[in-house]
Chains A and B, each alone.
Chain A
């Protein structure tokens, strides 16, 4: 039995509005994502500086390493942690691996453990990342 008193809109019109609403919601969230991404470098540095392990002031970074840090936060921090101290993935401080080996791991990944970034990151990006990883000590 239908209750006409609570029916406000025609179903067809409501359907069109619902499609617009869901599209708008998606667009808004993608906009939020862009804002979060752009604000990331601004908010991540204080977060890095205030973490317990990084009580010491972070070292000055070269231009390459700064770009590498940004790439790290965008691509690697999910698994290795914001401060690269390890989370799902291992701690990346004091890596005893050659640049070539690090390059290979980043681009090819590790089967079953780490995804490949070869398609997403170009050679200069990987070099920036390596430059950043080389600044991680202690």
Chain B
């Protein structure tokens, strides 16, 4: 399979977890602000499943990216900038998804707030990784 295949595969496999993780952060943020207990539980359940599926999907995204970059972890130029954000984002997202999976849908308020703050950092890193990934395709 050639580079074009992996380029397309990486595009497809990357955008799905990005969307899922952002959506997980969005629903968890709604849960943070929500006062009604029934809605709060629904938002947390959405955030729970989305972050787990997104976390699993991130493996496909990283794998296809590694094949596309021929196994380069760092690289140079735009690839390096992309990778500066990819690896911390991937590590953080896997950690967050694992923690949420183990703790369950409804962690304590304090733990949930910390989780949400870390999720914000994870989403920022992922957004930056996506931005510089897009720059490689569209920035020239």
Cα separation A15 to B108 with both chains bound (whole Å): 13
Chain B 90-126 per-residue mask, 1 if CB under 8 angstroms from chain A, else 0 = 1110111011001111111001000000000000000
Residues of B within 8 A of A (CB): 1-3, 37, 40-41, 59, 62-63, 66-67, 69-73, 75-77, 79, 87, 90-92, 94-96, 98-99, 102-108, 111, 136, 140
- Contact among A2, A14, A37 with B102 in the assembled complex (CB-CB below 8 Å): A14
Number of interface residues of A (CB under 8 A): 46
Complex CA–CA separation, A85 to B41 (angstroms) = 55
Per DSSP, chain B at the interface is helix
Q: How far is the CB of B8 from chain A (nearest CB, A)?
A: 14
Closest 7 interchain pairs by CB? A37-B71, A36-B71, A22-B95, A18-B99, A14-B102, A115-B77, A21-B98
What are 30 A-B pairs at a CB distance below 8 A? Answer: A3-B105, A6-B106, A7-B106, A7-B107, A8-B103, A11-B99, A11-B103, A11-B107, A11-B108, A17-B98, A17-B99, A18-B99, A18-B102, A21-B95, A22-B91, A22-B94, A32-B63, A32-B66, A33-B66, A38-B71, A40-B71, A47-B1, A73-B70, A74-B70, A78-B70, A78-B72, A78-B79, A81-B3, A82-B3, A117-B76
B94 and A21: CB pair below 8 A? Answer: yes
Q: Which residues of A contact B62 (CB under 8 A)?
A: 29
Q: Is the interface of A mostly helix, strand, loop or mixed?
A: helix
A51 to B105, CA, bound (A): 50
A22 and B92 within 8 A (CB): yes
Cα-based distance from A87 to B7 in the complex (angstroms)? 12
**A: which residues have CB within 8 A of B?**
1-3, 6-9, 11, 13-15, 17-19, 21-23, 25-26, 29-30, 32-38, 40, 44, 47, 51, 73-75, 77-79, 81-82, 87-88, 114-115, 117, 120
